[in-house]
Each structure stands twice: as structure tokens, then as C-alpha cells.
Amino acid sequence: KKIVYYEETDSTNIRAKKLAEEGAPDGTLVVTDFQNAGRGRRGRMWVSPSGTGIFMSLILRPDILPSSASMLTLVAALAVYDGIKETTGLETVIKWPNDIVAEGKKLCGILTEMSAELEGIHYVVTGIGINANMTGFPEEVGESATSLRILTGGPVRRSRLIAVVMKAYEGYYVKFKSCGSLAGLMDVYNEHMANLGREVKVLDPAGAYTGKALGIDEKGELIVEKADGKVVRVVSGEVSVRG
């Protein structure tokens, strides 16, 4: 599959969307060493210092409904979990929907964007940022982030980690497409889920509440049991979950 590499760029998600508009095929991977305008979810910036992190975006053209596209973010989280485990031996957890965390600090963030019509998807871009070899973080990121290097004590070969993550992604993606949902992946996802069985706080704009996280369903929605015993499903993107 094709890989497009930039020494420096604004954001691999922006690059990938442009390439997708120009017709780049399914499976094209955009990689850079340095993003000068890296972006995270909720419009936040993503710290992207030169040569230390993994900043990449995958262009996908799946034949699925637009409403299913957010599931691809969870597929990516599984692939990053595997990649980190295989290359460093480090055991991480997935914080629903798509943060990879170790020792309570964030190692990886994923940002999925798409272009779609009611009938179908033109393309999906899944951007993955992995804190690989950073030795520290700026104050505004503070205590919330960590890197593979900080946790393992040594540098990580980024090219190998990228290759292993993409290989894992391919396997999960095939499974995802054959089910048309996360049905075949939700058990392994739940095994790695940080807040499984724990109390979480759901910050719903209609009113925050707490409950016990029971895992994801085949759509990737978080199943939460409220204190009164009522079971609700939380859609990623609509609310945020603490816990």
C-alpha cells in the first residue's frame, strides 16, 4: 500500500483529506516527522515536536454507512494497543472511545474525520498520534501525557512501530468489514478497556450522571449502568466520559 511521507507538514489529517479529495486510494498512509498545526479532538492542538512522535493518517474508503464510520476509531485503538505491546512489551489500556493510556497518562490519541453523503462515505481519515520518543511535554499538556520512551526508558524505532500498527490494523479492518460492525472485535476491545466495570462520569450536555461501564456494544457505544439500574448507551462524540 502507498505511503506518503512529509518531513514537515501542517497536519497529516489535513494532508490526508486533500489527497483523498484528489483521489488517493483506500489504504494510503500519510506520515510526517513534524506537524506545525497538529490537531486533537474538540479543536484542541496536538503537540507534535520534530522527530520524536508518530503522526500519521490513514485514508480509508470503506463501503459502510456514514453512521458506522466512528467505529473505525475503535478499530485503530485496537491496532495501536497491539503495536505498542508487540514492539515495547508495554501493557496499555484503551480509554473509551479511543485514547491509549498507561499509568493514567495518555500515550496516543486518534482523530477520525470523514466526507460523506447520506448514501455513503467518500472517504474516512483516521489520524493517529503516538507519543513515542518525547522526553517531556510542554506545560499546557502538563501531567496528562506520557511517552513510550518515558515509560520504557529507551528509544522506540518509529518505523517498526508504524509497520506493526498498520499490520494489526489490516487484520482488524478485514474483520470489521466482514461483520459490518464491531461484533467480532468488541470482546478483545472490552478486554483492554480501561474503565470496564468501573464507575464513570458521563458528561452529557443534557445532564451529567455517573454509572458503571459495562463495555462497548457492536456499534462501539459504551454501555453504562446507572445507579438506579437503568442501562443506557453512550455515543462517542456526543458526550465525554471521565473515570
Q: Which residues bind ligand BTN (CB under 6 A)?
A: 11-13, 35, 38-41, 44, 46, 55-57, 99, 109-111, 127-129
Q: Minimal distance in Å, beta carbon 214 to ligand BTN?
A: 24
| Category of 112 on φ-ψ map: left (φ > 0), alpha (ψ -120 to 50) or beta | beta
CA dist 30 and 14 (Å) reads: 10
Enter the C-alpha cell of residue 161: 512501530
Tell me the pairing of strands 29-32 and 3-6: parallel
User: Least CB distance from residue 77 to ligand BTN, whole Å?
Assistant: 11
- Minimum distance between the CB of residue 184 and ligand BTN, rounded to whole angstroms? 25
In the complex, what is the shortest distance from the CB of residue 138 to ligand BTN, in angstroms, rounded to a whole number?
15
Q: What is residue 174's three-state secondary structure?
A: helix
In the bound complex, what is the minimum distance in angstroms from residue 53's beta carbon to ligand BTN?
8
Q: In the complex with ligand BTN, which residue's Cβ is closer, 11 or 236?
A: 11
| Nearer CB in complex with ligand BTN: 35/70 | 35
State the alpha helices, DSSP H only, in 28-115: 71-88
Nearer to ligand BTN, 7 or 117 (CB): 7
| Residue placing its CB nearer to ligand BTN in the complex, 48 or 211 | 48
Residue 79 burial class via C-beta count within 10 angstroms: exposed 0-12, middle 13-18, buried 19 and up: buried
Containing H/E element for 231? strand 231-234
Among all chains, which residue has been given the C-alpha cell 490519541? 109
- Which residue number has the CB closest to ligand BTN? 109
> Given the complex with ligand BTN, which of 4 and 211 has the nearer CB atom?
4
